Amino acid sequence: MIAQFILRRLLGLLAVLVAISAMTFVLARVVPKDPARLIAGPRASQQAVEALRERLGLNGTLVEQYVRYMGGLLQGDLGMSFSTKRPVLEDIRIFFPATAELTLAALLFSLLVGLPIGVISAAWKDSAFDYVGRFLSTLGVSLPPFWVALVGQLVGYYFLSVLPVGGRLSQGVAPPPNITGFYTLDSLLTGQWGTFLNALWHLVLPAFVLSFGVIAVFVRIMRASMLDVMRQDYIRVARAKGLTYSVVVLRHAVRNAMIPTLTVIGLQVGLLMSGSFLTESILQWPGVGLYAANALLAADYNATMGVTLVGATIYTIANALVDIAYGIVDPRLRAT
């Protein structure tokens, strides 16, 4: 029964990825820019452009191009980037560690800030702290990320001059030896404390911007879950036994309130990964998001589709894993 449930979810995951690849392919091909002309340059002759289009496989019908693309995709080939002249998969391997480091830093920051605010807001409902927490959570889901990025950059760099404007390291600071691709972790593993502090300094603003909306989600979910748990009978029994209010909240309420919150955490990983594209573009963080933005401007079809598929795969896998975990825990969901 469990095996059938997991198989259904995996087949659904595969169908979603195929649909995403088809939609992305079509949308990339309707862009008015001609990649062959962009690569060849404005002074290239029409014959040279046509020869390049033939070599890149851009002169066939849309169906023929898609079949050719899917054939390469099944072999792990995302195509060649028109901009960097490297395989798209190699480019993603180069830029992905920066995006993963930013995403994990934003997730960690969201958890450390959002969950405690949600717990305190629910434990002391209708207090001044609760009103402030609810206001900040509403603000977090209302403000667009690009606005938060621009304001953060304006305040942190221009007015206060305490945060860098972009990049992973300051000019003149050499990257640490490549172990994991995370500059903060690699510098710690090799004992380069100056590099670690510099990398952490550059990570502050992008991580804050990326986590701003996620913190609001965690506050809302945790607060609502805590309020529901605090109304349960076992909480009243614990209070009747003479346990202090803080002990009841920390030992009993928080543990049970975390169950629905864990589901949201799993889904937020995929959302953070996709949301990092806009943050990286504005703050010039050299990750997959900035790479994708440059690919879009250059009408680099292969790079655009490769990044989209990677992002969609991460999100759908996270969603499927949460779905499968819930199905294992709750047998009622296996029939759906």
pLDDT tens column, 105-124: 999 999 999 999 999 998 88
Q: How far, in Å, CA of 240 to CA of 237, rounded? A: 5
Domain-embedded: residue 253: yes
Q: Which residue has the higher pLDDT, 98 or 260?
A: 98
Cβ neighbours, 10 Å, residue 36: 21
Q: How many domains does the chain have?
A: 1
pTM over cut 0.85: no
| pLDDT surpasses 60 at 335 | no
- When pLDDT is cut at 50, 70 and 90, the band that residue 329 belongs to is low
Q: Which helix (H) or strand (E) holds 240?
A: helix 233-240
CB 288 within 8 A of CB 96: yes
- When pLDDT is cut at 50, 70 and 90, the band that residue 307 belongs to is confident
Domain-embedded: residue 131: yes
Domain-embedded: residue 115: yes
Q: Supply the CATH number for residue 99's domain.
A: 1.10.3720.10
Q: Give the range among 40-44, 89-93, 128-132 with minimum mean pLDDT.
A: 40-44
User: Residue 269 sits in which domain range?
Assistant: 88-297
Domain-embedded: residue 159: yes
